[in-house]
């Protein structure tokens, strides 16, 4: 199987040829008009020959716009690509196909995919790309734009099934918490998939991520429960530190001497006060410390 790579074509400048063809058309029309008036058959035939030649050469003129390439083929054979802007002239039988070299971007549709834990998620991505090899883009794939779109969706599906949506406090990589790593993985996958199409992927990022509608409510409750547990854990850790500090300072300054039973009671009371999710009503002891 032949692999195509871009080569630079070197057509003639089109300005001199355009002026020559314009002069040929003018002369041919003038000769035909004067020959018809004079009924000069030789002049009429000469005029027709000039006009026919000029007409057959005109398709050789073509324009290359900025950030555009013209792929030249002659009877099915690739002859090169012209990227320099301007008016050019080449073999009139040469086919000329324009390929845009501008940076383009698109957003994939919202895909429903199962993540690494088999939870259905809706995901979409934005891909920024451009053509760098016009020969590969034209001849290695059937339709390079459609190829980019299809491969982007395929890579996004594969990526989403590799990572879980959320780690729920674990240290693993997830779609929702490690967007930079996930986007880089998507970019690398697209670079590998689209290299054969002469396409350079400049950026790829997740633009939409959510649990699928059928499990969104249940997952929201799970996230809320995980958040409550994490918050409680932080509160308890802080409360234990405060209780320990209070006991150490009371003991060091000899303000109060506690036996094990009284110390346990104080720890219990302090933890209730510090860990409660609502205001605590204190009970003031007006008697001795033991009553």
pLDDT at 250 (0 to 100): 64
In a domain, 40, yes or no: yes
Mean per-residue pLDDT for 30-34?
A: 89
Residue 286's pLDDT band (cuts 50, 70, 90): low
Average pLDDT over residues 200-222: 74
- Asked if residue 148 has pLDDT above 90, the reply is yes
Of 211, 239, 258, the domain-final residue: 211
In this structure, is residue 29 part of a structural domain? yes
What digits encode the pLDDT tens for the residues 248-260? 666 666 666 666 6
Last residue of a domain, one of 99, 115, 137: 99
Say yes or no to pLDDT of 226 above 80.
no
pLDDT of residue 116: 84
Task: Please check the confidence at residue 32 and state whether its pLDDT lies above 90.
Answer: no
Place of tokens 């204190």: 282
pLDDT value at 235 more than 90: no
Give yes or no for a contact between 98 and 68, defined as CB atoms under 8 angstroms apart. Answer: yes
246 and 171 in a single domain? The answer is no
Answer yes or no: do 232 and 150 share one domain: no
Q: Which CATH number goes with the domain that contains 191?
A: 3.30.479.30
Confidence of residue 212 (pLDDT cuts 50, 70, 90): confident
User: Residue 46: inside a domain, yes or no?
Assistant: yes
pLDDT of residue 245: 74
Residues 204 and 224 in one domain: no
Lowest average pLDDT, out of 66-75, 122-131, 230-239, goes to 230-239
Does residue 165 lie within any of the structural domains?
yes
Average pLDDT of the residues in 172-179: 80
pLDDT in tens, 44-95: 899 899 999 999 999 999 999 999 999 999 998 999 999 999 999 999 999 9
- pLDDT of the residue at 271: 61
Same-domain check for residues 153 and 67: no
Same domain, 146 and 116: yes
Q: What is the pLDDT of residue 202?
A: 93
Degrees, nearest 5: CA angle 199-200-205: 120
> What percentage of the chain reaches a pLDDT higher than 70?
74
In this structure, the answer to whether residues 224 and 156 fall within a common structural domain is no
pLDDT, residue 290, reads 52
Q: Are residues 108 and 207 in the same domain?
A: yes
Residues 155, 241: one domain? no
Flag whether 45 is in a domain: yes
Does residue 158 sit in the same domain as residue 183? Answer: yes
Assess if residue 128 is contained within a domain: yes
Tell me: do 127 and 81 sit in the same domain.
no
Interval 130-150 mean pLDDT: 92
Domains: count for the chain: 3
Domain boundary among 211, 233, 262: 211
76 in the same domain as 31: yes
Would the pTM of this model clear 0.75, i.e. be above it?
no
Q: Is 288 contained in some domain?
A: no
d(CA 163, CA 119): 11
Mean pLDDT for the chain overall: 82
* Amino acid 230: pLDDT: 64
**Is there a single domain that holds both residue 93 and residue 182?**
no
Least confident of 26-30, 111-115, 136-140, 253-257: 253-257
Residue range(s) defining the domain that contains residue 75? 12-99
**Is 4 inside a domain boundary?**
no
């Amino acid at each position: 199987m032949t692999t195509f790579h871009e080569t630079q074509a070197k057509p003639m400048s089109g300005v001199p040829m355009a002026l020559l063809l314009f002069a040929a058309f003018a002369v041919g029309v003038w000769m035909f008009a004067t020959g018809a008036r004079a009924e000069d058959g030789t002049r009429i035939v000469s005029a027709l020959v000039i006009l026919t030649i000029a007409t057959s050469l005109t398709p050789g003129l073509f324009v290359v716009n900025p950030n555009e390439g013209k792929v030249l083929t002659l009877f099915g054979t690739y002859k090169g690509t012209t990227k320099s802007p301007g008016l050019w002239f080449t073999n009139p039988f040469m086919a000329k196909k324009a390929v845009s070299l501008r940076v383009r971007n698109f957003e994939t549709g919202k895909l429903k995919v199962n993540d690494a834990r088999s939870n259905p998620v809706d995901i979409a991505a934005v891909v920024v790309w451009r053509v760098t090899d016009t020969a590969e883009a034209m001849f290695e794939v059937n339709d390079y734009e459609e190829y980019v779109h299809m491969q982007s969706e395929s890579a996004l599906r594969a990526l989403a099934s590799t990572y879980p949506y959320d780690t729920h406090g674990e240290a693993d990589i997830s779609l929702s918490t490690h967007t930079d790593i996930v986007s880089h993985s998507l970019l690398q996958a697209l670079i590998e998939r689209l290299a054969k199409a002469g396409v350079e992927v400049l950026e790829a990022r997740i633009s939409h991520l959510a649990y699928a509608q059928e499990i969104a409510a249940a997952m929201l409750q799970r996230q809320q429960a995980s958040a409550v547990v994490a918050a409680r854990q932080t509160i308890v850790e802080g409360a234990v530190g405060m209780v320990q500090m209070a006991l150490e300072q009371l003991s060091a300054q000899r303000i109060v001497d506690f036996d094990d039973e009284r110390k346990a009671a104080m720890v219990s009371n302090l933890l209730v006060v510090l860990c409660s999710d609502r205001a605590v009503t204190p009970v003031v002891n007006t008697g001795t410390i033991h009553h």
